[in-house]
Structure 1
Amino acid sequence: MHPRIRPRVGVDYAVTFTSDHLSGGGTLTNLTIAGAEIRSAVDCPIDAHLCLRIQSSGARPPIVVTLAVVRWKRDDRFGVEFVRFEGQSKQQLEDMLNPHDSSALE
């Protein structure tokens, strides 16, 4: 394991994912701007390419990651690296992870 550059934020968000060969859902349990950990009954192989739809709390629109790569798996959990986002999803995620930034305040 490599040391983490970015701190993880513990969350409990619903997530759905699809690829050419599988689809399913689960719970996103921690999050950084670079990736996340997902708990799911679906067996996602390492190096699988997924499209994620993350439903955060409140009435925010879902965060859509058009390309995430499975980097590790253990039991019912796996970690993904975010590669490509849809539209403003990356900015939305950055705003959620940096609540002290005045642009994230409503």
Structure 2
Amino acid sequence: MSMTVHYRVSLSSNSATTGEGRLVDLSLEGCRIESTQPLPVNTYLSLRLIISPKEMPVLVDLAAVRWTRGTVCGIHFLSLQPLQTARLKTLLAGAAPQNPPNTPDKE
């Protein structure tokens, strides 16, 4: 399950910040980012997902760019600390749309 979001994200590769972007889709496995500059496929990054100014960013230790389309790219999360995974799960659960109860079809 993924959700559409609009969060800031800070991208780093080789321990240097390489730029900022806007997180537009988020799931437990990865995300879609609009970045200020195109990122080549197979670039390995660490990410700081800035969910709220009041909360610490969710940290992704290792992620890889899997596809790009202009300045939009698909990111696959490869390594997160257990605490960060738990925060991500809580975030996704809290923002998940509530499904309406099943109603039988009218005949």
TM range (shorter): 0.7 to 0.9
Query: Residue type of the partner of 2:21?
Result: G
**Identical aligned residues as a percent:** 30
Alignment equivalent of 2:36, drawn from 34, 41, 53: 41
More strand by share: 2
Runs of 4+ that moved beyond 2 A: none
Query: Residue type of the partner of 1:46?
Result: V
Indicate the residue corresponding to 2:9 in structure 1: 15
Question: C-alpha separation between the residues in 2 aligned to 1:81 and 1:54?
Answer: 14
Unaligned runs of 5+ in 1: 1-6, 101-106
Listed as ranges, the matches of 1:58-73 within 5 Å are 59-73=54-68
Question: C-alpha separation between the residues in 2 aligned to 1:22 and 1:73?
Answer: 19
Larger Rg: 2
**TM-score (ref. length: structure 2):** 0.80
Indicate the residue corresponding to 2:92 in structure 1: 97
Paired positions, count: 94
Question: C-alpha separation between the residues in 2 aligned to 1:30 and 1:42?
Answer: 18
**TM-score (ref. length: structure 1):** 0.81
Unaligned runs of 5+ in 2: 96-107
